[in-house]
Amino acid sequence: MNELLNQLEHEIYSRSLLLPLDILLVGATGVGKSSTINAIFGNRVAKVGEGCDPETQIISSYRVKDYFRVHDSAGLGDGISNDEKHAKNIINELLKTVTTNSDKSTSYGFIDMVMVILDGSSRDLGTTYQLLKNVILPIFDPKRIIVVINQADMAMKGRYWNHNFCIPEQPLIDFLEEKSKTTQDRIKEATGLTINRPIYYSAEYSFNIDKIISHIKSNLPRERRIIKINESTKQFIY
């Protein structure tokens, strides 16, 4: 894991991206955004919700490396009123800008990438579709969006998960591979967004966490994000 983080650091510096790289985690309630943060950084930096109410009601930030920071947003799917409030917080975060000490005249987007986290134990992607189509895609470059699937251990209701070695057995691997492909196709059909095949993992068992880092590295932006708006159409330009 440390080697992968070192590689990510090298790529961020080599592309002259703003430091730190800022990634916003979004998804429905219960997909495991906070658990994912803890799995990546190897300790409980984010409080995990274990009861009925999600622990993250506003956007919380966690900077563990000088070059890497993640932002944990509140989960959607807890009612229309809460969803509207959380969606507004996400939009505000995506539209937030920063300047550099060397160039105060140029405003860069504060968030560099968005990671959409799905629940591997559920087939319901309705909340994710609405989040992408109505909240994120109208204002954010689709090339900066990646999708991952958590709770791989529960994808077949716990069957074919090897608890001794904390890895999936072959029937579960086959199921997860197919789920990854169908998720890619369903998101394309529902939102028009073309994504790379989602990575599946288990934050609880630290399975495939290294592949999340590799996925971020493979989809790393090649330039700083500048927010532009077409004055005639009032649409965002990527």
Residue ranges per structural domain of the chain:
2-237
> How many residues in the chain?
238
DSSP secondary structure, 44-74, as one string: --SPPP-SSS-S-SS-EEEEEETTEEEEEPP
User: What pLDDT digit, counting tens, does each position of 165-186 carry?
Assistant: 999 999 999 999 999 999 999 9
Report d(CA 41, CA 63) in Å as an integer: 10
User: What pLDDT digit, counting tens, does each position of 33-73 carry?
Assistant: 989 998 988 765 665 544 444 444 568 888 878 898 999 99
- Looking at residue 123, what is its pLDDT? 86
CA atoms within 13 A on the CB side of 26: 30
Q: Where are the alpha helices (DSSP H) in the chain?
A: 2-14, 33-41, 80-95, 126-130, 170-191, 209-218
- Looking at residue 42, what is its pLDDT? 74
Residue 152 DSSP symbol: G
- Domain 2-237: CATH superfamily, name plus number: P-loop containing nucleotide triphosphate hydrolases (3.40.50.300)
**Angle between helix 2-14 and helix 209-218 axes, rounded to 10 deg:** 10
* Phi-psi category of residue 133: left, alpha or beta, with phi > 0 → left and psi -120 to 50 → alpha: alpha
Asked if 183 contacts 118 with a C-beta cutoff of 8 angstroms, the reply is yes
Identity of residue 24: L
Averaged pLDDT, 203-218: 96
User: What pLDDT digit, counting tens, does each position of 79-103 carry?
Assistant: 888 889 999 999 999 999 999 988 8
Asked if 5 contacts 96 with a C-beta cutoff of 8 angstroms, the reply is no
Report d(CA 215, CA 202) in Å as an integer: 15
